[in-house]
Structure 1
Amino acid sequence: MDYQTLSLAEKLIVAEPRVISIQNLMGRNSGRYKFIEANILLKVHELDKASFIANRIAGSISERIKNVDRVLIHYEPIKKENLIYALPLEDDLQQQISDHFGEAPYFGLTTVCLNDNKAIGQEILANPFTQVEHGKGILVAEFLIRHSVDVVVTKESFAGKGPFYVFSSAAVKNVLTREDTAEKALAHLGVRYV
């Protein structure tokens, strides 16, 4: 198969936020029909989510590349050792949870070891989209996905809103809390601090 077609297939695969790497990508022509096969590593740990993502990638390739007869995506979910929790924050010191996801000035990211549920790292990120007038929630959701977030803890539900669709397509969970601080919310979820 020509380089240009394989290159487009590669771009379509890596456009999926949960793809960690392409381990192998092959293509062949049979007359005017094309067959594409890829082995990918996904940032999910549930097989049903991995299957859903692989089917979405295959559909995207079939849609964008002409005369594709069959796309075969072999996938392997990663074995996760840590989860990254994100919380919208009003400030970077007291870590008060913001009532408004898209307008939160900061986001606290806490890395938690799955073996013992201990917090092993924390990072505070400034929200780069606070001055944007429309679509802040979606932009923030995409920003957090680029930071490999697994769980977003908020006071408000995303049901029917833009961030819900962005997070669900990337297999990111949204957990609601009534707690006021990041530490209390995470402790309520069973996270232990060293």
Structure 2
Amino acid sequence: MNILHLDSSITGDNSASRALSAAIVRELTDADPSASVTYRDLVAQPLDHLTLPGFATPQSAQALSEFKAADVVVIGAPMYNFTIPSQLKAWIDRVLVAGETFRYTESGPEGLAGDKTVIVALARGGLYGEGTAQRSIEHAERYLADALAFIGITEPRFVIAEGLALGDEARDAALASAHEAVRRIGAACPVA
């Protein structure tokens, strides 16, 4: 199994999404000790924001190649200002490429990356889940689900820790719940 592990939080060691994504990768490698992991810290080594010439850079080609080689992609994604960090968006811009991960057909776009498993460790300070008053302005989980579906990954798995900014008790409960979800991942993830 080839695992691509991405982190995009700017808060370093204080990041819930980084801690959760690392825990997910540990579960996966414990389940399959022969797994190889490629790690990309999108903050420490950011991709440039996309430009037309940027499509042809070695940096863009490497990001796409890493994605295509992966069986499992683990994404650490905090929600900033209702959506994903711009560093993660720059990576997505390198991965959603016509002729590589999707193609246009007479009946519309067709995803070409549906054979991958994607697990997203999503951290949110407030409450934005289904049934909450803030759901309509949540654009991180929904954007990632839509972008991944466009390239054929229609069932990404989300491990969500939310309410992290609502006090210590809420944070502890959210992290405990998310880590419980992480513990179930190793057994549930298919070994390639």
TM-score normalised by L of structure 1 = 0.31
Task: Answer 1 or 2: which has greater strand percent.
Answer: 1
Task: Answer 1 or 2: which has greater helix percent.
Answer: 2
TM-score normalised by L of structure 2 = 0.31
Higher Cα Rg, which structure: 1
